[in-house]
Structure formats: structure tokens, C-alpha cells
Chains A and B, each alone.
Chain A
Amino acid sequence: MAGIHKSEVTISQSGKMEHDLLRTVNWNGRFKLWMGFLSLLLLVCLYFYYLQLRDGLSVTGMHDIVSWGIYISNFVFFIAVSLIGMLISSVLGMIGYKWIKPISRIAEIIAVAFALVAGLVIITDMGRPDRLQHLVMYGRIQSPIVWDITIVITYVVLSLLLLYLPLIPDIALCNKKLTGLPAFQRRLYKILSLGWADKPGQFKVIKRYFRILLIMIIPVALAIHTVTSWLFAMTLRPGWDSPIFGPYFVSGAFVAGCAAVIIAMYFFQKNYKLQEYITNRHFDLMGKLLVLVSLVYVYFNINEIIVPAYKFKPFEVEHIGNLFYGHDSALFWMVQTGGLIIPFLLLMIPKMRKPLPITIISVVILVAAWFKRYLIVVPTQLTPYYPIQNVPERYHSYTPTIAEIAITVASFVLVLMIITILSKLFPIIPVWEMKEENENQKQ
């Protein structure tokens, strides 16, 4: 008697879960409005890209002294954020933490969106995007750019697979349970579900390949950001010429990524009414994770900044001085204290790890993380070895233009569009994994 009763409860519970989690898969009015807004914004921004294609990079604020501006810092930022998919799904997942299940897909969608758009961001920085094929035709293995492109493509593919593989049972479920779907969506589900039939053997295959992917993505993710840091570290410029740039970038990436996931969690919890699945406990744990990764990042910051500041080598002086008390000092101290130290101290207070406060803190961290990339890329170029002379006055500083900002905004719009579409096309929380988790807890 008792056994039958228990299984009935499980069925109704999992039925409710299915209902709750599939409910978010639709194209409602708010989605259309939001996408309409994003598309409009994108069109405006694309006009500026057209101007850039027409008139060259002269529409940007870049010049011969600062020849890498916010496009490159934005690229580094995007790569950084995209690393979070690896940390949450792979590292925490393989250690065996169960709490990451409901937020793992959010992390993977963020990883895919940012990594995909990062590839486009780097193209906007090219003086001759029409010669993109030269990278394949004449690619030289010595160049860190070639390594970067290779590894970005690998990471995008692996991230897509990492997102897609555990989606297959959910896509089949969507196809089975959802009614009133447009024909294209039905067809898409049918193709993407690959004839999934909920057989135990199929689950076994998925889990095995998922595990392989989880292992593969760790070195690739580490490589992608290490190689990105090498774009700078492989040069001889003070401020870039640093052997710890790889781990410095990777640790910073986790900070930015955690903040991005927390913001997304808050958004999905509120808008998709998922309070039962993304709970205060998830925010609390993500807060603790953020404290941990921030601590590591602070450690690398100390190494990266204190060591040259102590030695005060001839050319480093100028660079460090510029950051400490020079042209970029206000931004530098704001980013270092307001965007890293203070948030990290605040997050050690349990009350600050409640959804709303932690989301606000995460927004601050994420904005600071963007400017941190700017501080890594731009100031070094403003302190070259030889004096800046016989050039226009504006070569002594760097101010991004409207066109440059618009094109950068376009990259964020694209990321939001990808996240929005993916989160509306598929359940944002893995249904079968949650059901399985539920069963396990019962037994």
C-alpha cells in the first residue's frame, strides 16, 4: 500500500515539475516585445558597423599609439565570461555537487552565447575583415592569434555539444508534451531530438559522452583564456610582458562568469517563476563560489601589480605610475576596490548572499570586470618605450567613439538575443536531470 502511494506522489511531483519547467518554453508577447527591442537596437548598431566598413577603423577612437581599444578588451571580457560553463558544469559537476543541476544549463547557455559572439567581436576589430580567409590560406603557427582562433572554435564546438547533449531528452519531452507549437519548432525538435525514446540504454550513452565532454572542456577552456592572455603576454611591452598572465586571466574569468550566472539566475527565477527550482540556497552557494574565485583573483592581482611596483624597473614605473596615480588611476582604484575587494568582503556576510543583494553586487562586479579588461589592454599602449611625438594631440589618450561603443553594444545585444532565444526554445532547467535527482532523493 505504502509503496504504491509513494510512487503516485513521485509521479504527480514529476508531473508538476514537467509542467513548471516546460511552461517557460513559449513565444509569448513579452518575448516578442523584448526581441523586437533588441532587433531594433541591433539594427541601429549595425548601421555603425556599416560606417566602419565604409570608412575604415578611422571611425573608432583608436590610433597608432592605442591600436587596440575596446573591441579587444571586450573580446577578452567575452572570452572570460564564457569560461563559467566549464567551471560550473565540468569542475563542480565532476566533483559531484548536485546543487549545480538546475543552474548548469544557464551557465552553458552563457558560455555558448559569449564564446560565439567573441568570435564576431574579434572580426569587428580587423582592419580588413574581407581578408578573413587569409587566416586559413596563410595561417602561421607561430602567431598567438592563430592559436587563439583555433582554440576559440574548438571551445565553441565543445560548449555547443555540452549544451546540446543533455538537452536531447528534454527536446524529445518538449516535442511530446507541448501543444500548439509552430510547425518550424516541431520540425526543429524532431530533428534535434535524434529519435530519442527515453530508453535506459540511450541515457547510458548520453551520460557517458557527457562525461567525456566534461573532461575535454577543462583543458580547452583553460587554454582559450590562457592563449587570449598570451596575445598580450607574448609581447615585450611593460604591463603585458608578464609570465603569470595566463592564470591571472583565468582566475579573473571565473569572477566575471560567476557574476554573469548570478544575474541570469535572478532574471530567470523572477521572470520564469522558478523560485522552487532556483532557490535562495543556490544564490547562497553561488555567492560562496564567487568569494572563493574572487579570493584567488585578488591573489593574482597582488602578484601582478605588487611585484613590478616593488621593483620599479625603468619602463614599468611609467605604467604602474599611470595606474596608481596617473591618467587611469581613478578607474583603476574604482575597479580594484569597488569592483573586487568590497564586493568580495560584502559577500562574506550571509545576508548579502540573498537573491537581490547578490544580484546587485554581481552587476557591479560584472561592470568592473569589463573595465578591468580595458585597464589591461589600453594603458600599456599609452606608455610606450619611446615618447609619443609628431602626432596629433589625441594620440596621447584614448576615447572610444560613438561608433565604437555602438558596435560594442551590438555584441551585447547579440549575446542577449542568443540567451533569450535558447531559453525560450528549450527548458532553462534540465527537466530529466531534475526528475532523476528527485528520484534519487526519494530512495
Chain B
Amino acid sequence: MAEKSNAPRRKSRREFLRKLGTTGAVSIAGTSLLFAGSKTGNSDKTPGSKVKMLDQNNRLVEADVSQVSPVSVKIDAGYLNKKGRKGLPGRKFVMVVDLARCRNARKCMKACQGAHQLRPEQHHINVLEMYDEENGASYFMPKPCQHCDNPNCVTVCPVDATFKREDGIVLIDNERCIGCRFCIAACPYSARTFNWAEPKDAEKYKDVPYDMELNVPQKKGTVTKCAFSADRLREGKLPYCVSACPNGVYYFGDENEDLVTNGTTRETVRLSKLLKQNASYTLMPELGTKPRVYYLPPRRS
């Protein structure tokens, strides 16, 4: 996002800075800012040089070095833990899966397993071959966690290891999980998987601090699940599976903004319109789980 600074953006930034200058009352330093790159903040202290950074609303802004002081954030386990449980404020993430476009390329599964340290039989997202009895044809259906608004898995968890964030994402804290597997038993979508043995490449990930949003490193004896790639969302990127798809199956976005972006074509469309015009549906709505993943029906053949 930071690299792609195009003309209209630059204009709005200038405008922003101009306002800043005229009012002069707003001290950027006061509003705790997270540096996109903290290096700039530390190295160059000469007045007059500008730094680029993201403000609270994830907008890119530029300001004079003298006006800002760096907020040092230590990326340690405590920070990752707190961040993982909080979620991104003001967002409601949503996924739309266009079944008519799925050709079973399985790039999504591969990207997901690679990112999340999963064995080949462990699926955060699983592309199923479904049989449509009405049309006597089969179609492919990618099935990630549905990130239900009424998640049965979260209700039954005895230790609050799996939880629903305010941005709609259902995550799991594998440092809290006791491995009772009640969530696996309770999930009607079979979306969860368990680390029955030592996870793949456990040695390699030994010293990596645990990132709840990525759920890596995986731990033996704990449950793992699709996280809507919460770590990527925080960076303003699309989930691993969404950007890996070569066929434009996935749309991902924010329900509050009513916008979703196709992971392949990068085309952004109105969520409500997309759902309405394409006879969207959710999986087993009769169960009352209220999924956050919508499906557009497969093509009739």
C-alpha cells in the first residue's frame, strides 16, 4: 500500500499537511503513531526532512521529523498476544467465494499451508468436490473457517483459547489451548485441525515468537484454524489464499465499508451489490451460526 502512491493520493496528502500547517494545533507526536518503518525515525534527525508513516486510520501521511517522536514497539510475545486478541478497530472482515470461477487449482491451499506451517493433511482451507444433486454435476468448493458471528466453537471452549474478535475474525491462542478438541467436535463446518504430532518443521520455528494472528509456530497438542490471515490484514494486505488464487475466486474486504476486492483481478466492488446480484448464500444458515463467508453459486453445466 505504501509503495503505490499515485497522484490523487499525493494530492490528498498535501491537503492534509496543509491543514496541519494552518491549524498548527495538532501535534502528530501526541497521537501515538505506529511507524511503517521505524528506521527513518531514528536515523535522520535534521529538521526539514520528511518521514512517511501510517496514521491511526491506516492513511499514509508525511510529516517533518522534528514534529514526531518514534513510538518504539517491541515485537515480543506480550505485544503479539495483546494485538492478536484485540483485532483491527472498526473493521468487519468478510469473504466472498465465487464458486463459478473455481477450477480446483488449489493454490489457495498451498499458500495457506506454507504460511501456517501445516502438514499436507492439515487444512485451514480445503477445496472440496461437492456433488450437486439437482443438476447432477459436481463443483469445487473452497471451505475456509466461516468466521461465524455465532460461533459454536467459541462458546464451547473451556479456557477462552479460541475467541471472536471485534473485526469478525475467530482466532485461536495456541498458548492457551488445552487440546480438549471440543471446538473440533462442535464445528459443523469441520474447519479446524489438530496438531496430533510435533508440527511440521518444528525445529526451524523453535525460536520464533508466537504470533497469534498467524498462529505460528504451531504447537503439538493444540488446535489450529484459519485466521483470515489476520497478520496480513494488519499490514493492509489480502489473505494468503485470496492473493494466491489464479482464477479470481475470492473477494475479500470489509463489511463496514461495503467493499470487497478480488484477490486476482484486484478489482474492488460493492459487497452488497455483489451478493445481491449473484444469488449469494452462506453454508447451512439453518444452523444459526451466521457465517462471514459468502458463496456465489457454481456455474450450471
Q: Are A145 and B129 in contact, with the CB atoms below 8 A?
A: no
B281 at the interface (CB under 8 A from A): no
Q: Are A138 and B179 in contact, with the CB atoms below 8 A?
A: no
A64, A142, A231, A395: residue with the most chain B Cβ atoms closer than 10 Å: A64
Query: Hey, which chain B residues are within 8 Å of A236, CB to CB?
Result: 152, 186, 188, 287, 289
Query: Hey, which chain B residues are within 8 Å of A197, CB to CB?
Result: none
A256 at the interface (CB under 8 A from B): no
A57, A127, A138, A149: residue with the most chain B Cβ atoms closer than 10 Å: A127
Could you mark each residue 175-193 of chain B with 1 if its beta carbon is under 8 Å from any beta carbon of chain A, else 0? 0111111101110111011
B284 at the interface (CB under 8 A from A): yes
Q: Are A390 and B127 in contact, with the CB atoms below 8 A?
A: yes
Interface size class for chain A? 35 or more
Query: Hey, which chain B residues are within 8 Å of A237, CB to CB?
Result: 185-186, 188
Could you mark each residue 72-99 of chain A with 1 if its beta carbon is under 8 Å from any beta carbon of chain B, else 0? 0000000000000000000000000000
Q: Are A144 and B156 in contact, with the CB atoms below 8 A?
A: yes
Query: Hey, which chain A residues are within 8 Å of B121, CB to CB?
Result: 64, 390-392, 395
CA distance A149 to B178 in the complex (A): 14
Query: Hey, which chain B residues are within 8 Å of A388, CB to CB?
Result: 190
Could you mark each residue 378-418 of chain A with 1 if its beta carbon is under 8 Å from any beta carbon of chain B, else 0? 00010011111111100100000000000000000000000
B146-162 CB contacts (< 8 Å) to partner A: 152, 155-161
Query: Hey, which chain B residues are within 8 Å of A140, CB to CB?
Result: 157-160
CA distance A137 to B192 in the complex (A): 24
B220 at the interface (CB under 8 A from A): yes
- Kindly identify which residue among A144, A387, A392 contacts B128, using a CB–CB cutoff of 8 Å: A387
A306 at the interface (CB under 8 A from B): no
Query: Hey, which chain A residues are within 8 Å of B185, CB to CB?
Result: 67-68, 231-232, 235, 237, 381
A243 at the interface (CB under 8 A from B): no
Query: Hey, which chain A residues are within 8 Å of B109, CB to CB?
Result: 390
- Kindly identify which residue among A62, A138, A390, A392 contacts B160, using a CB–CB cutoff of 8 Å: A138
A56-B198, A386-B143 are contacts. A127–B180 as well, Cβ < 8 Å?
A: yes
Q: How far is the CB of A408 from chain B (nearest CB, A)?
A: 17
CA distance A131 to B176 in the complex (A): 8
Q: How far is the CB of B118 from chain A (nearest CB, A)?
A: 11
Query: Hey, which chain A residues are within 8 Å of B198, CB to CB?
Result: 55-56
A270 at the interface (CB under 8 A from B): no
Q: Are A139 and B152 in contact, with the CB atoms below 8 A?
A: no
A134-B159, A138-B159 are contacts. A56–B184 as well, Cβ < 8 Å?
A: no
A68-B181, A126-B179 are contacts. A56–B190 as well, Cβ < 8 Å?
A: no
CA distance A234 to B287 in the complex (A): 12
B126 at the interface (CB under 8 A from A): yes
Query: Hey, which chain B residues are within 8 Å of A146, CB to CB?
Result: 158
B195 at the interface (CB under 8 A from A): yes
Q: How far is the CB of B114 from chain A (nearest CB, A)?
A: 16
B196 at the interface (CB under 8 A from A): yes
Q: Are A389 and B157 in contact, with the CB atoms below 8 A?
A: no
Q: Are A386 and B179 in contact, with the CB atoms below 8 A?
A: no
A125 at the interface (CB under 8 A from B): yes
Could you mark each residue 221-249 of chain B with 1 if its beta carbon is under 8 Å from any beta carbon of chain A, else 0? 11100000000000000000000000000
Q: Are A64 and B194 in contact, with the CB atoms below 8 A?
A: yes
Could you mark each residue 119-153 of chain A with 1 if its beta carbon is under 8 Å from any beta carbon of chain B, else 0? 00000011110011011011110111110010000
Query: Hey, which chain A residues are within 8 Å of B197, CB to CB?
Result: 55-56, 58
CA distance A395 to B161 in the complex (A): 26
Q: Are A127 and B179 in contact, with the CB atoms below 8 A?
A: yes
Q: Are B176 and A127 in contact, with the CB atoms below 8 A?
A: no
Q: Are B196 and A56 in contact, with the CB atoms below 8 A?
A: yes
CA distance A390 to B129 in the complex (A): 10
- CB nearest to B126 among chain A residues: A390
Give the top 8 A-B pairs by smallest Cβ distance, nearest first. A127-B179, A127-B221, A58-B197, A145-B158, A143-B158, A58-B196, A128-B179, A138-B159
Q: A127-B223, A140-B157 are in contact. List 16 more A-B contacts (CB 8 A).
A: A64-B121, A67-B194, A127-B179, A134-B178, A138-B160, A138-B161, A144-B156, A145-B180, A231-B182, A235-B152, A236-B287, A237-B185, A385-B190, A386-B128, A387-B129, A390-B121
Provide 17 A-B residue pairs closer than 8 Å at the C-beta atoms, listed in order of the A residue: A56-B198, A56-B220, A58-B197, A64-B192, A67-B184, A68-B185, A127-B220, A127-B221, A127-B223, A128-B222, A131-B159, A134-B178, A139-B159, A143-B159, A235-B185, A237-B185, A237-B188
Q: Interface of B with A (CB < 8 Å)?
A: 109, 121-123, 126-130, 143, 152, 155-161, 176-182, 184-186, 188-190, 192-198, 220-223, 284, 287, 289
